[in-house]
């Protein structure tokens, strides 16, 4: 059976991951309105990743005999002034998710649940990758400084990104 404090922390993280999926869906809609299909594709891949993360946590709680409690998902922001602003918001969001994963791991450490600590190690590594990926796109957006031709080329590059279901844990 899962420790109650840890179960609650996992449920909070499940909610955060579903919020992340919703957050990327809002950006997907934004890029759809802008007709930037590559950016939209990038957001679609992110949505699928966040859903996979949420379900990985969800399934882990069940595997450990815990109870998943789904919570209300907060409404995300829906409007931005530019693709640059979107990716600045994404980086802040991913840094927040990293802090939440770290806090969840701290709870697992506190209650001495080694299996949970081991499981969460995958998420810690994933967050390093998430922040790096966002940071790379952000650097490119800052480099092009709103140049329409460069933005078009970046859009084409982002269209090539594909989703590969992660093996979590």
Domain map (residue ranges) of the chain: 4-158
When comparing pLDDT for 165 and 64, which is higher?
64
Please, which pLDDT band fits residue 82 given cuts at 50, 70 and 90?
very high
Q: Residue 18, Cα to own-chain centre: how many angstroms?
A: 9
Please, which pLDDT band fits residue 11 given cuts at 50, 70 and 90?
very high
> 4-158: what CATH class?
mainly alpha
The per-residue pLDDT for 145 is 76
CA distance linking residue 111 with residue 120, whole number of Å: 14
At 131-140, the pLDDT tens digits run 999 999 999 9
User: Would the pLDDT of 165 be above 80?
Assistant: yes
Neighbouring C-alpha atoms within 13 Å toward the C-beta of 3: 14
Return mean pLDDT, the chain: 96
Q: Cβ neighbours of residue 133 under 8 Å, at least 6 residues apart?
A: none
For 2, 62, 92, 112, 144, the CA distances from 105, given in Å and listed in that order, are: 14, 18, 20, 10, 38
The model's pTM: 0.94
Torsion angle (degrees, nearest 10) of CA 142, 146, 150, 156: 90
User: Would the pLDDT of 146 be above 90?
Assistant: no
Q: In the chain, what percentage of residues exceed pLDDT 70?
A: 100
CA distance linking residue 1 with residue 7, whole number of Å: 10
H-state helical runs in 64-159: 83-110, 114-144, 148-158
**Pick from 110, 142, 155, 105: nearest CA to 127:** 105
Tokens 């919020």, located at residue: 19
């Amino acid at each position: 059976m899962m420790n109650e404090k840890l179960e609650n922390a996992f449920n909070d993280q499940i909610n955060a991951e579903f919020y992340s999926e919703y957050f990327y869906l809002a950006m997907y809609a934004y890029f759809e309105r802008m007709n930037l299909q590559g950016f939209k594709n990038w957001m679609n891949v992110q949505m699928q990743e966040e859903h996979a993360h949420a379900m990985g946590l969800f399934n882990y709680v069940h595997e450990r005999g815990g109870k998943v409690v789904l919570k209300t998902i907060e409404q995300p922001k829906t409007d931005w002034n530019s693709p640059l602003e979107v990716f600045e918001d994404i980086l802040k969001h991913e840094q927040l998710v990293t802090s939440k994963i770290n806090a969840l791991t701290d709870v697992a450490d506190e209650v001495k649940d080694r299996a949970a600590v081991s499981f969460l190690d995958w998420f810690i590594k994933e967050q390093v990758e998430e922040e790096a990926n966002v940071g790379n796109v952000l650097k490119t957006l800052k480099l092009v400084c709103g140049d329409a031709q460069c933005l078009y080329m970046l859009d084409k590059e982002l269209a090539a990104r594909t989703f590969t279901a992660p093996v979590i844990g």
